[in-house]
């Protein structure tokens, strides 16, 4: 093991913590209050934020979409610059928080902010961000990553910089009460796949990271199984588990994969599939394709997460158990809604990957173009 680890985001966890924003944002800072389609106006979050901002000058920008687009976010950059705003408060799920990260970097850059997504330049400066999380899933509230879409070209790309990681994250699980079941299940599966991306690779005898990952997976499984009995502790545990799944802790010092995410993002970009559902569609097939490289960790997951009996086909049964888990949550495990014939869809997905320079994926960088095509051939119904 050889790694650096720091997570500088201050977490304010629990009911009523939205009020702490008043002191967490330094006095005198002019604030951009960023949010999505308006769910926060129906569950009291908007009013709590407004009350907490009463000592600050602030302007709001709403309408950040699920899978946020650069077209919309650039309008927020214009507002921010025009009004001389210097602090961004993102209130929403991963989309709003990711959008804030783009705005924070683009506002301090003379060129086109899309350059960060295309890797043409690094973020050298960014405005500070605070987050109020309303949907546990992505971990964006305390990580440095953002995924942004250019609607005009259907490009969904990511960038990361410690400079855009939120300074603080308010996590009040009571705000989850208005989440539709579909979004809650999306959250469980997105967090689950984040853990898998950092755990289902190959063994490196990292006992702490493996134990954390398995504990989080068992927690998510249990939350899924008890989804019909949601109470305060159910919400608290899901919000904390999804955060811990992607905050840098379990990936420290171990190999990671992320191929499921790279392939999944193209399903979202082309066919509008929810992020988590793109993952449940890709991952079982990717695991089957990569089974020999991942066999040892799949067996370990089968034993320690699903309590399966040992045997020669344990890795195969673990993948089947993962697939059944997704299906039990009414997540698709194949893409069936794509409006063309299958060959055209696979070609379109492959063209996207090529355009985005995705050559070799996976923990061994060994999923080449032919491998990606094989996985899509399986994942597209
Ligand atoms: O826009 P509003 O009205 O707020 O409604 C949202 C949206 O329609 C709604 N919602 C959120 N909180 C709610 C609520 N509805 C009722 N009550 C509440 N309390 O939920 C819908 C989905 O929101 P969104 O933010 O899009 O979901 P999620 O948190 O799953 O974020 C998905 C985005 O994050 C990216 C994805 O690619 C996608 O663009 N990711 C970001 C990552 C990161 N930054 O580390 C990692 C992930 O792998 C992922 O790629
Ligand atoms: Zn994800």
Q: pLDDT for 188-230, tens place per residue? A: 999 999 999 999 999 999 999 999 999 999 999 999 999 999 9
240: in domain:
yes
- The residue nearest atom 25 of ligand 1, judged by CA position, is 93
Best residue among 97, 138, 196, 283 to mutate for probing ligand 1, ranked by most atoms within 8 Å of CB: 138
The whole domain housing 21 covers: 10-174
**pLDDT digit string (tens) for 221-277?**
999 999 999 999 999 999 999 999 999 999 999 999 999 999 999 999 999 999 999
- The residue nearest atom 49 of ligand 1, judged by CA position, is 138
**Cα(186) to centroid(ligand 1), Å:** 9
Best residue among 18, 37, 39 to mutate for probing ligand 1, ranked by most atoms within 8 Å of CB: 39
2: in domain:
no
Give pLDDT, residue 246.
98
Give pLDDT, residue 230.
98
271: in domain:
yes
Domain end (from 151, 174, 197)? 174
Same domain, yes or no, for 196 and 299? yes
Residues with CB under 6 A from ligand 1: 36-40, 43, 66-67, 92-96, 98, 134-135, 137-140, 143, 145-147, 175-176, 178-179, 183, 186, 190, 246, 261, 275
Same domain, yes or no, for 93 and 214? no
Same domain, yes or no, for 53 and 110? yes
Q: Which ligand is nearest to the CA of 156?
A: 1
Best residue among 91, 92, 230 to mutate for probing ligand 1, ranked by most atoms within 8 Å of CB: 92
HEC-encoded secondary structure of the chain: CCCCCCCCCEEEECCCHHHHHHHHCCCCCCEEEEECCCHHHHCCHHHHHHHHCCCCCEEEECCCCCCCEHHHHHHHHHHHHHHCCCEEEEEECHHHHHHHHHHHHHCCCCCCCHHHHCCCCCCCCCCCEEEEECCCCCCHHHCCEEEEEECCCCEEEEEECHHHCCCEEEECHHHHHHCCHHHHHHHHHHHHHHHHHHHCCCCCCCHHHHHHHHHHHHHHHHHHHCHHHCCHHHHHHHHHHHHHHCCCCCCCCCCCCCHHHHHHHHHHHHHCCCHHHHHHHHHHHHHHHCHHHHHHHHHHHHHHCCCCCCCCCHHHHHHHHHHHHHHHCCCCCCECCCCCCHHHHHHHHHHHHHHCCCCCECCCCCECHHHHHHHHHHHEC
Same domain, yes or no, for 192 and 156? no
5: in domain:
no
319: in domain:
yes
299: in domain:
yes
């Amino acid at each position: 093991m050889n790694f650096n680890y720091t997570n500088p985001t201050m977490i304010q966890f629990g009911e009523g913590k939205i009020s702490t924003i008043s002191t967490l944002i330094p006095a005198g800072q002019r604030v951009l209050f960023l949010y999505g389609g308006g769910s926060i106006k129906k569950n009291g979050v908007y009013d709590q934020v407004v009350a907490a901002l009463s000592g600050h000058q602030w302007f709001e920008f709403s309408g950040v979409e699920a899978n946020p687009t650069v077209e919309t976010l650039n309008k927020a950059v214009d507002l921010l610059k025009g009004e001389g705003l210097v602090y961004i408060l993102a209130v929403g799920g991963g989309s709003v928080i990711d959008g804030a990260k783009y705005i924070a970097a683009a506002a301090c850059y003379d060129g086109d902010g899309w350059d960060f997504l295309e890797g043409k330049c690094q973020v050298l400066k960014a405005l500070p961000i605070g987050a109020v999380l309303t949907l546990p899933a992505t971990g964006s509230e305390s990580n440095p990553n953002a995924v942004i879409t250019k609607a005009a070209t259907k490009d969904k790309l990511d960038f990361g910089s410690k400079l855009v990681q939120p300074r603080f994250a308010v996590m009040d699980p009571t705000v989850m009460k208005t989440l539709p079941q579909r979004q809650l299940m999306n959250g469980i599966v997105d967090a689950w796949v984040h853990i898998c991306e950092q755990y289902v690779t190959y063994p490196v005898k990292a006992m702490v990271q493996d134990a954390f990952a398995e504990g989080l997976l068992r927690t998510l499984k249990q939350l899924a199984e008890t989804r019909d009995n949601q109470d305060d502790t159910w919400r608290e545990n899901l919000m904390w588990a999804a955060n811990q799944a992607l905050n840098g802790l379990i990936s420290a010092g171990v190999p990671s994969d992320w191929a499921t995410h790279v392939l999944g993002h193209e399903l979202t970009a082309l066919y509008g599939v929810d992020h988590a559902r793109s993952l449940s569609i890709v991952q079982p097939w990717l695991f089957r394709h990569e089974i020999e490289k991942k066999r040892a960790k799949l067996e370990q997951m089968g034993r320690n997460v699903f309590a399966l009996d040992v045997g020669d086909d344990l890795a195969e049964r673990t993948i089947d158990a993962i697939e059944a888990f997704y299906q039990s949550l009414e997540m698709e495990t194949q893409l069936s809604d794509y409006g063309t014939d299958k060959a055209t869809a696979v070609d379109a997905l492959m063209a996207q990957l090529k355009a985005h320079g995705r050559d070799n994926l996976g923990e061994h960088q060994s999923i080449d173009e032919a491998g990606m095509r094989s996985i899509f051939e399986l994942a597209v119904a």
